[in-house]
Amino acid sequence: MGSLETIFILLIAAVALCVPVAVLILSIVALVRTSRIKGLESRIQELERRFATTELPTAVGPTVDDDFVVAEEVIEAQTAQPPVQQSIPQEPRPAIQWELLIGQKAFGWVAVVLSIFTAAFFLKYAYENNWIGPVGRVAIGVLAGTCLMLAGHRYHRRGAAISSQMLAACGVVVLYLSAYSSFGFYSLLPAEQAGFFLAIIVVLSMVCAILYDSGAIALMAVLGGLATPLLLPNEHDLYIALFVYLAALNLGVLVVTLVRRWPLISSVAFLGTHGLFWSWYEGNYHPEKWAWALSFQAVIFGLYLIQNFAGHLKRTDSNRRENIVLTLLNAAFWFGAFYVLMADDYREWMGTAAVTMAAVYVMAGRLLLAFRPGVIPELVTALAVSVGFVVLAIPLQADSRWIAIGWAATGAAMWWFHLRIESRVLGIQAAVITAASVVRVICIDLPSYPNELLLPIVNRVALPSIGVVACIATAYFASRVYRDRLNTTTRYLVAATGLGAIVLLWLVLTVDLSNFFFAVARMAAEPTSWRRIGMMSVSILWTVYASILLAVGFRLGRATLRWTGIAFFALTIGKVLLLDMSGLSEIYRILAFFILAVFLGVAARVYQRLKPATHAEQRDEAANNHA
């Protein structure tokens, strides 16, 4: 006896032993619950009977003279209280009939699943033992599926909705198994001809789901369709048959989701399809098959792109969150597959492909805006995906030194658009992209400064980094223009971003100037002298930088800039006293101290002359921040 027969016999024995025991236990549980429910119903009926037969006592008042009637009516009108409404006991909610639920639905759907496995195992077992020819095996499956579909239609006409759905779902899956086995297992038909029959079965299954108004039939058809290639494996890699079959299945899903917006149908089909594709890719992919694999991925991407946006054009807002998630996953899975299949031979075109994808989603967003004016989540999602592809295109195509400025420019543009349409999602995405550009400058670009002599500022490291600062400054000034649209928290974050741009520019200039003098020192006959000149130059740079901040702060009346300049002066004083005093020779030390003293003296003189105005500016700035 083979292993398959042993497993089949054990499965039948387990079902024969477990099902009666389970039925007995469930029957006992249902009996206990039914007796409790009947007891509660009898008590409720007794309480209702007593409440109905209870009479309210009526008070008998003394005889009142007619002369006092008018006065009493006036007094009663003045002191009358609103009537107290008696609460009527609500009828209890009907209890869940567990016995009927298990008997009518659970047993039926379990029977459907077992029937599907039975049909799959029968086809496989008949093939291995050569009982019937391939044509006969497929014909038996088609006949069984057709009979189940007809039986489901008969029950539907009689009004038995649950039975009709179960039979129809089982029939659809059996037809899937038979059709797939005809070309994917027995090779009776070429894939091109089998696609026609698959399309008929897909249309039939979706028509049944719509006719019976049953999402369960559609879901079972999708699950059965995805399980068919797993239940009927083949020793040969018939990838064309697999791709045609899955494309036809997803086309049916597209049609049914456009007519009926049932939840989970699209998600299950999408994730299951990609799961089958990447499972095939892991075990059977070869570069010679790239054209079919890429074409299949393009078809799946196109189908779900239509499905995601067509519903919104029809002003259908159901399953909005699911559609937004599918929009993101569809873009990510498609470009991921495109990159994996094409990057080895066409790596230089990956950035262009990302920009093309960005244009596709911009056009999709424009189409949404034309049919549904206003800012809706789907429009924001399309724009966010488009921006994501632009951000991705920068590291794929540009030189590594220009990645940060590309990200910063994208973040600044998104921040401006966020201010225009007041979209919180775009604002968060812009902040994240800008922060990523700053992190790249600090952690990657500046530490990897080349060890060669470069012209200060105008070089391939400093210039892109200064461009990042310029983009951040642009976003900051745009926020000043739309200040009234920002809440208090966002205003403080914008102010912190402006200070961060000032610090980043100071850091870039410092690193650039230091590396210039150290590169000169490596090539000079007296490197120590050039290193000392570099240390002195950095101190002078910091002094000038702090003075410029003070001057701009006085000119614009911004106390924040002046305090920042004071902080840089303090940092410069600390450097001169702790580092330059011990590391510089006499002449350089004298120059550093003298220049710092001159600038500090000028700053002190300016403060003495503008002291009253400074206090007034601080009060005005504080009032503006809390407005």
Question: Would you state the pLDDT for residue 494?
Answer: 92
Asked whether residue 599 carries a pLDDT value surpassing 80, the answer given is yes
Q: Which long-range contacts (CB under 8 A, 24 or more apart) does 487-490 make?
A: 490/427
The crossing angle, in degrees rounded to 10, of helices 239-259 and 265-284 is 170
Question: Would you state the pLDDT for residue 77?
Answer: 45
More confident residue, 137 or 504: 504
> Looking at residues 213-234, what average pLDDT do you find?
80
Q: Amino acid identity, residue 374?
A: G
DSSP 129-168: HT-S-HHHHHHHHHHHHHHHHHHHHHHHHHT-HHHHHHHH
What HEC string does 69-123 produce?
HHHHHHHHHHHCCCCCCCCCCCCCCCCCCHHHHHHHHHHHHHHHHHHHHHHHHHH
Percent of the chain with pLDDT over 70: 74
For residue 87, name the pLDDT band (cuts at 50, 70, 90).
very low
Token pair recorded at residue 189: 């038909």
C-alpha torsion sign, points 365, 367, 370, 372: negative
Q: Are 250 and 300 in contact (CB under 8 A)?
A: yes
- The helix (run of H) or strand (run of E) holding residue 21 is helix 3-53
State phi, psi for 316 to the nearest 5 degrees. -105, 115
Q: pTM of the prediction?
A: 0.63
The 10s digit of each residue's pLDDT in 413-471 is 889 888 887 878 788 889 999 999 999 999 998 888 887 788 888 888 899 999 999 99
Asked whether residue 595 carries a pLDDT value surpassing 90, the answer given is no
The CA–CA distances, whole Å, from 244 to 221, 270, 300 equal 17, 15, 11
> Looking at residues 10-18, what average pLDDT do you find?
41
Question: Would you state the pLDDT for residue 91?
Answer: 52
Question: Would you state the pLDDT for residue 616?
Answer: 52
More confident residue, 194 or 530: 530
CA pair distance 308, 327, nearest whole angstrom: 6
Question: Would you state the pLDDT for residue 103?
Answer: 55
The 10s digit of each residue's pLDDT in 64-79 is 444 444 444 444 444 4
Instruction: Write b or e for each residue in 233-250: b if 16 or more Cβ atoms lie within 10 A of its Cβ, otherwise e.
Output: eeeeebbbbbbbbbbbbb
